[in-house]
Amino acid sequence: MSKKIFIWLLATFLLGTVSLAHAQQSGKIPWIGYLAGAGSSPSPAFIQGLRDLGYVEGKNIGFVYRTTEGRSERTADLAAELVHLKVRILVADSTGLALALKKATSTIPIVMTSVTDPVRTGLVASLARPGGNVTGLTSISGELGGKLLELLKEIVPRLNRVVILMTASVANDLFVKETDPSARVLGVKLIPLVFRGPEDLQDAFRSATKEQANGLISRLPPGASSADRKQAAELTIKNRLPSVSGGNSWADAGGLMSYGPDPNISYHRAAIYVDKILKGAKPAELPVEAPTKFELRINLKTAKQIGVTIPPTVLARADKVIR
């Protein structure tokens, strides 16, 4: 770690600690500990959700923000740091981050913005009655994976070998396992390609070529930057790989298609959970919500570049077409 980065991290930590200590002593506002995989502040949709409920940062609520900057090895330390600061509520924007926070505390309420299968990962006892200090929102894993494969199969009828570009995580392991039954029905072999960071993307695509893949599902982590997504999308174009992702930003970054819930809705809904908990509700009794609205985005510019024709039946279902 360079001296400059160390000084910046130290200053950020001290600022957050001093500000939080002052607020706790005054007893005027509750502080929310927000753990993210990337970015420089809490999600704008989350902040807007709180504003819609009457919260104003610095007036009746405050934030202590920490990000792993895409480096999973920092997760445990940052989770422990936020717990040490004794914030009122913790917010996590991915499965791995929520698991780290739960491991760090069993008493501070934790709100998930969107995680994969919180029951099977051990975050909650059930969706209806979480039963612990964790609640919030979940994404759909196996069902979504099957739908992503179906979309690729509609566009590439001869689809038979699909790479899943992913980082190592419990959530991604579950995604592969739960998607496999749909893959067998469709006659598709799933090929998980695990990479550690942006520096590994070139090697991952070389492996996809060696595996003779003719389709790709992107499982880039929530902490991936827009630059990382753009790089991965450009590599699918370079390798002429039809691709799809459950994250809406994929098609916007240059990927062929995306199909999934709008993350901004999840962040906005997470603010409601924070509000309820601040008003006395117990996480153990707040049911976990699953998404109800999904959006299909298609990038026709990318389709032309990789030589793929989008069938009219698929194009007609698109919520957004990028030309």
pLDDT tens for each residue of the chain, 323 residues long: 444 444 444 444 444 444 444 444 445 899 999 999 888 889 999 999 999 999 999 999 999 999 988 788 899 999 999 999 999 999 998 899 999 999 999 999 999 998 888 998 999 999 999 999 999 999 876 678 999 999 999 999 999 999 999 988 888 898 999 999 999 999 999 999 998 777 889 999 999 999 999 999 999 876 677 888 899 999 999 999 999 999 888 999 999 999 998 888 999 999 999 999 999 999 999 999 998 889 999 999 999 999 999 999 999 999 999 99
Residue 228 lies in a domain: yes
The residue type found at 236 is T
Is 267 found in the same domain as 249? no
Domain of 308 in residue numbering reads as: 142-260+295-322
The reply to whether 13 and 99 lie within a common domain is yes
Q: In terms of domains, do 134 and 207 share one? A: no
Distance CA 164, CA 190 (A): 7
Do 185 and 304 belong together in one domain? yes
**Pairwise CA distance, residues 91 & 72, whole Å:** 17
Residues 154 and 301 in one domain: yes
Note whether residue 290 is domain-resident: no
For residues 278 and 313, membership in a common domain is answered with no
Which candidate, 187, 192, 193, places its Cα nearest to that of 160?
187
Residue 313 belongs to a domain? yes
Q: Is residue 86 domain-shared with residue 188, that is, in the same domain?
A: no
Strand 257-260 and strand 295-299: the pairing is antiparallel
Count of domains forming the chain: 2
Parallel, antiparallel or unpaired: strands 320-322 and 295-299: parallel
Same domain as 302, residue 190: yes
Tell me the pTM: 0.84
Cα separation, 52 vs 49, in Å, equals 5
Whether residues 121 and 192 share a domain: the answer is no
